[in-house]
Amino acid sequence: MAGPVKRSEKLKRLVAVQRHIEKMAEHELAATTRHRAEVNQSMEEVIDAIGSMHPIHRQFSQQYAERFGRLTTKERQLAGVQQLQEMKVLKERTKADRLQDNMKDARDDEDREAADNSIYELIEITLASQMIK
């Protein structure tokens, strides 16, 4: 049977989970950034079509203007989502860093306690051996 789970081990598992949550938030942000780039590319294509002198494009200028309006709205929405996701990534990273610092502190405390216990055991053995003599 294993001994009691140390605080640093528990924190180590929490750090791993928190880093995973951070990675998930980063992937969401990357997906939103890609989607936003696609919307911006579509906006550029619509602008080019609106400014084109080709007769076919002139016939669809109203549809292009409506599409551009929808794309502009979508771009604004994605910008807001991206900003929220950036804040979430930062928040999750901060949590993970804080947990990691706590884990290191707990490990230092455990190492210090183990060293102290070793010294106490050595003192007890020395005193016991002196009492036997």
> What is the pLDDT at residue 1?
42
- How many residues belong to the chain? 133
DSSP string, 84-124: HHHHHHHHHHHHHHHHHHHHHHHHHHHHHHHHHHHHHHHHH
Q: Is residue 29 part of a domain?
A: yes
Q: Is residue 125 part of a domain?
A: no
Q: Is residue 111 part of a domain?
A: no
> What is the pLDDT at residue 94?
97
Q: Is residue 81 part of a domain?
A: yes
**What's the DSSP call for residue 101?**
H
Q: Report the distance separating Cα 12 and Cα 113, nearest Å.
A: 19
Q: Write out residues in the chain with pLDDT < 70, as ranges.
A: 1-3, 133
Nearest to 72 by CA among 53, 57, 50: 50
Residue span of the structural domain in which 29 resides? 7-103
Is the distance from CB of 52 to CB of 41 less than 8 angstroms?
A: no
46 vs 10, 32, 42, 76, 92, CA distance in Å?
Answer: 54, 21, 6, 17, 38
Close Cβ partners of 96 (under 8 Å, ≥ 6 residues apart): 15, 18, 19, 21, 22
Q: Is residue 31 part of a domain?
A: yes
Is the distance from CB of 29 to CB of 86 less than 8 angstroms?
A: yes
Average pLDDT, the chain: 92
Domain count, the chain: 1
